[in-house]
């Protein structure tokens, strides 16, 4: 059984299959930084979930705001119901001078 089993009634479509292949290939080459660009609603989270499922590696998703972090958490929980999906919010901004 795969370490991360993606559960979704959908399959990658449009540009998603190529993006998934390129990101997985970049990870296999040891690239430390990659960027996934897409407009709102184009399936970036679903694309990331497919990369996670394909590589089978624990993954840290970082968001620039708490609203998006909560959204990513909920979506990843739905896509990976058999895996631990955790949510952590730093309150660093409260302690800045």
- Give the span between the Cα atoms of 30 and 32, in whole angstroms: 6
Ranges of each domain in the chain: 16-95
pLDDT digits (tens, 9 = 90+) for 36-45: 999 999 999 9
Categorize the per-residue pLDDT at 1 as very low, low, confident or very high, splitting at 50, 70 and 90: low
SS3 readout for 2-60 = CCCCCCCCCCCCCCHHHHHHHHHHHHHCCCCCCCCCCCCCCCHHHHHHHHHHHHCCCCC
pLDDT digits (tens, 9 = 90+) for 70-84: 999 999 999 999 999
**Half-sphere exposure (Cβ direction) of 49: Cα atoms closer than 13 Å:** 23
pTM of the model: 0.89
Report, as an integer, the average pLDDT of 22-45.
Answer: 96
pLDDT score of 89? 86
Distances (CA, A) of 41 to 5, 15, 37, 92: 23, 13, 12, 29
Q: Is the pLDDT of residue 93 over 90?
A: no
pLDDT score of 90? 83
CATH no. for 16-95: 3.40.50.300
Report, as an integer, the average pLDDT of 26-55.
Answer: 96
């Amino acid at each position: 059984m795969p370490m991360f089993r993606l559960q979704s009634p959908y399959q990658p479509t449009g540009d998603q299959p190529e993006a998934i292949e390129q990101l997985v290939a970049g990870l296999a080459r040891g690239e430390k930084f990659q960027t996934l660009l897409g407009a709102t609603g184009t399936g970036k989270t679903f694309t990331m979930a497919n990369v996670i499922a394909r590589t089978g590696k624990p993954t840290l998703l970082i968001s620039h705001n708490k609203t998006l972090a909560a959204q990513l958490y909920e979506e990843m929980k739905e896509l990976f119901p058999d895996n631990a999906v955790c949510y952590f919010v730093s309150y660093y901004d409260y302690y800045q001078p």
